[in-house]
């Protein structure tokens, strides 16, 4: 029995040393990931992003394709109109299914998105406060609900649907209830001619 204890004790020590050596060898060869700034990751690129795989380099496709104006969105089944006075406009189609229009109005930046096929495309990864603003919009025999939520950081996200098309309007700015509600209801009215 003593002999068994001694043998297991020695084997246990050898096993522990071997496992420690394997763990150290496995962890030592890992490279630090390249850090990028927030500006690099959030700004849409004109071309694809380069990814290195060993010694070869390949282009990764950029899911955001810049387009000329809102008329290009009709190709993916989306009807969008920007409000009068919109400035600093840019337009993108994301993954061939989400229309993305960026603009400023009265100095406040907004992202206005719509899709005929995507389910969750707002791109907002923040928690929302419990309270929300709900408005109804009636046009002829059509009635729809508009929901405006506030993020914990004070940003605003409005969402609604016209027919099969879902719309969102987002700003990270802390705008008051009347400002976001008025703009949202105006965009709802402008988007009513969705196929």
- Convert the pLDDT of each residue in 90-114 to its tens digit: 999 999 999 999 999 999 999 999 9
Backbone angles phi, psi at 121, to 5 degrees: -130, 10
Closest CA to 157 of 167, 166, 148, 144: 148
Of all residues in the chain, the percent with pLDDT exceeding 70 is: 69
Domain parsing of the chain, residue ranges: 1-30, 64-193
Q: 167 falls in which pLDDT band (50, 70, 90)? A: very high
Contact 110, 83 (CB under 8 A): no
- Convert the pLDDT of each residue in 7-37 to its tens digit: 556 666 655 556 555 555 555 544 444 443 3
What is the three-class DSSP state of 116? coil
């Amino acid at each position: 029995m003593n002999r068994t204890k001694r043998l297991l004790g020695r084997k246990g020590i050898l096993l522990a040393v071997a496992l420690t050596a394997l763990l150290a060898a496995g962890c030592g060869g890992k490279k630090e990931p390249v850090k990028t700034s927030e500006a690099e990751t959030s700004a849409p690129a004109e071309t694809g992003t380069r990814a290195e795989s060993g010694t070869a380099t390949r282009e990764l496709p950029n899911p955001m394709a810049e387009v000329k104006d809102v008329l290009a969105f009709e190709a993916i089944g989306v009807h969008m109109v920007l409000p009068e006075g919109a400035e600093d406009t840019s337009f993108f189609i994301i993954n061939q299914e989400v229309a993305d229009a960026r603009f400023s109005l009265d100095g406040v930046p907004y992202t206005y998105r719509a899709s005929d096929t995507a389910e969750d495309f707002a791109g907002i990864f923040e928690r929302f406060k419990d309270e929300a603003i709900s408005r109804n919009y009636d046009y002829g025999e059509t009635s729809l609900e508009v929901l405006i939520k506030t993020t914990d950081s004070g940003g605003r996200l409005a969402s609604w649907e016209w027919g099969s098309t879902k719309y969102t309007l987002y700003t990270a700015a802390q705008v008051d209830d009347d400002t976001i509600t008025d703009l949202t209801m105006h965009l709802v009215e402008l988007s009513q001619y969705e196929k």
